C-alpha cells in the first residue's frame, strides 16, 4: 500500500530504479504517467513550462521502467512474451531503474512534480518522504533499535518497508550527523534495489557546503553523481511569487503576513487589566491576553506558549525559536494544531543563526503539512524578505512565504 511520511510517520513500502530503456508496454506506461502529470497541472490551473515538461518526460520514462519492473516481480508477461522468461522473485539490482536527483532554485515546481509523479505511477510499493519528518522518524527508529546487531539497517527497513520507489523531497544537508545518515540511506537503497528520486535546491557538490564538514558528505555526493541522474530544473520564474495572486487559497496559502510594529504590539499588551487586546489580524482575531498563557508538554519538556485556542496555536517568535526547539516539536504541533499564529517576528538579522534556522525549518514543516499560518511581524513583508537575503536556506523560506496573503 502506498503512503507518505507526511501523515503519521508510518512506514510503508519502497524500491526501484531509473529510466533508459523498457520492454513491451513501456511506451504506453510512459504516456500514461506523463499524461497524468499534465492533467494534474491542468486541474491546478496551469500548464507545464518547458523545463517542467522536460522533467515530466524524464519522470514518465522512469515511471514506465518502474511499472515494468513491478510486472516482472509479479510474474506478469506482456503480449507475445513467454512466461518461462519471467520469474516471480524480485528482480536483481541490475534491473533496478536508475534514480533521479532533481535540483534547482526554489519555486520552480520540483516538489509539485514529485507529488504529481507519486500520484501518477500506478504501483503500490512507493513512499514519499520529506526531510524533516523522515529524519525525526529515523532517529526514533534508531533509538528503538539500539543494542541490535544492525541498528541502522533495521531502522531504515522499518521506516520504508517494502517500497520499491522512494521519493525524497527537500534533500539538503547542513548537519554532519545528517550527512552520515543520508550516506547510509543512499547505500541501503542502492544495495536493496530501491529507486530514489530526490528534489533539492542544491547541486550534489553544494550539499553540506561548510568547508569544515563538507568532506563528511563527499561519499554521499559520489553516490548521487554515480548512481542517480542529476537533472537541473532552472527557469527564471519563481511560481510561488508569480502566481501568488491566483494560487488556490487552502492550507498554508490561507495564512497571512501581518505587519504589527513592535510599538503597536507593546501598546496592545497594555490593554486594560488582563483582558483581550485589540484585533491585529485581517480576520478580526484578537491577540491573546496574558491570562491565556499556557504550556505544551512534549518529550518530557514543557514549552511555554502565548495561548492555545482549540486547534489554534498562538506563540511568539521567542517562544518557538529562541528556545531550543527542533523539527520534532514543529512536526507534532503541525499534527495537533490546524492554525498557527507566530507573534512578534523580528528581522532575522537580529537573532542568532540557530533561531534563524529553526524558523526556516518551521516554515518547511508548515508548508509540507499545509498548515494555515499567520505571522505577526515587526517589519513589513518586503522589509523582512530583503533583510533575510543571504541567510542559510532563506531563498526557499522566502519563496514559500510568498504564498501568504499580505
Task: Give the Cα separation of 313 and 338 in Å (integer).
Answer: 8
Cβ-based burial of 272 (10 A; exposed 0-12, middle 13-18, buried ≥19): exposed
Torsion sign across C-alpha atoms 211, 216, 220, 225: positive
Q: What is the pLDDT of residue 100?
A: 96
Tens of pLDDT, residue by residue over 253-295, are 899 999 988 655 555 554 434 444 444 444 467 899 999 999 9
**Whether pLDDT at 162 is above 70:** yes
What is the pLDDT, as a whole number, of residue 324? 92
Helix axes 50-73, 110-120, angle to 10 degrees: 30
Residue 241: band (very low, low, confident or very high) from pLDDT cuts 50, 70, 90: low
Cell output for 81: 512474451
State residue 24's pLDDT score.
Answer: 45
Whether the pLDDT of residue 225 is over 60: the answer is yes
Closest C-alpha among 360, 361, 384, 370 to residue 340? 370
pLDDT digits (tens, 9 = 90+) for 289-316: 999 999 999 989 999 999 999 999 999 9
What's the pLDDT score for residue 29?
87
Q: pLDDT digits over 355-403, tens only? A: 998 999 999 899 888 999 999 999 999 999 999 887 777 888 888 898 8
Contact call for residues 229 and 51 (beta carbons, < 8 A)? no
pTM score above 0.85 = no
Cα gap 356→160, rounded to integer Å: 31
pLDDT digits (tens, 9 = 90+) for 53-105: 999 999 999 999 999 988 887 765 444 444 434 333 444 555 889 999 999 88
Percent of the chain whose predicted confidence (pLDDT) is above 70: 80
Amino acid at each position: 500500500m502506498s503512503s507518505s511520511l507526511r501523515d503519521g510517520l508510518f512506514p510503508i513500502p519502497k524500491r526501484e530504479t531509473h529510466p533508459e530503456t523498457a520492454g513491451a508496454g513501456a511506451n504506453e506506461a510512459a504516456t500514461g504517467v506523463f499524461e497524468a502529470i499534465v492533467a494534474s497541472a491542468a486541474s491546478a490551473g496551469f500548464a507545464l513550462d518547458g523545463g517542467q515538461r522536460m522533467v515530466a518526460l524524464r519522470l514518465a520514462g522512469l515511471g514506465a521502467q518502474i511499472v515494468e519492473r513491478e510486472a516482472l516481480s509479479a510474474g506478469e508477461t506482456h503480449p507475445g512474451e513467454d512466461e518461462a522468461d519471467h520469474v516471480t522473485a524480485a528482480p536483481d539490482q541490475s534491473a533496478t531503474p536508475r534514480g533521479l536527483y532533481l535540483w534547482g532554485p526554489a519555486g520552480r515546481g520540483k516538489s509539485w512534480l514529485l507529488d504529481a509523479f507519486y500520484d501518477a505511477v500506478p504501483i503500490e510499493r512507493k513512499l514519499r518522504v520529506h526531510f524533516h519528518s523522515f529524519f525525526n522518524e529515523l532517529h526514533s527508529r534508531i533509538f528503538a533499535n539500539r543494542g541490535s546487531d544492525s541498528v541502522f539497517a533495521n531502522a531504515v527497513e522499518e521506516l520504508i518497508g517494502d517500497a520499491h520507489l522512494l521519493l525524497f523531497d527537500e534533500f539538503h544537508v547542513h548537519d554532519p550527523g545528517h550527512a552520515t545518515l543520508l550516506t547510509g540511506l543512499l547505500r541501503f537503497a542502492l544495495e536493496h534495489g530501491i529507486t530514489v528520486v530526490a528534489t533539492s535546491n542544491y547541486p550534489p557538490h553544494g550539499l553540506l557546503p561548510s568547508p569544515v564538514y563538507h568532506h563528511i558528505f563527499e561519499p554521499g555526493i559520489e553516490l548521487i553523481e554515480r548512481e542517480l541522474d542529476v537533472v537541473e530544473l532552472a527557469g527564471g520564474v519563481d511560481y510561488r511569487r508569480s502566481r501568488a495572486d491566483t494560487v488556490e487559497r487552502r492550507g498554508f496559502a490561507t495564512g497571512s503576513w501581518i505587519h504589527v510594529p513592535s510599538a503597536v504590539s507593546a501598546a496592545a499588551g497594555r490593554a486594560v487589566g488582563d483582558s483581550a487586546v485589540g484585533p491585529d489580524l485581517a480576520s478580526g482575531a484578537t491577540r491573546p491576553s496574558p491570562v491565556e498563557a499556557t504550556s505544551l508538554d512534549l518529550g518530557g519538556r514543557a514549552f511555554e506558549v502565548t495561548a492555545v485556542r482549540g486547534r489554534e496555536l498562538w506563540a511568539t517568535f521567542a517562544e518557538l525559536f529562541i528556545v531550543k526547539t527542533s523539527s520534532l516539536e514543529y512536526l507534532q504541533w503541525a499534527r495537533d494544531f490546524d492554525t498557527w499564529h507566530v507573534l512578534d517576528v523580528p528581522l532575522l538579522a537580529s537573532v542568532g543563526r540557530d533561531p534563524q534556522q529553526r524558523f526556516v525549518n518551521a516554515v518547511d514543516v508548515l508548508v509540507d503539512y499545509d498548515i494555515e499560518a499567520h505571522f505577526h511581524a515587526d517589519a513589513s513583508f518586503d522589509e523582512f524578505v530583503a533583510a533575510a537575503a543571504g541567510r542559510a536556506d532563506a531563498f526557499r523560506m522566502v519563496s514559500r512565504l510568498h504564498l501568504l496573503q499580505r
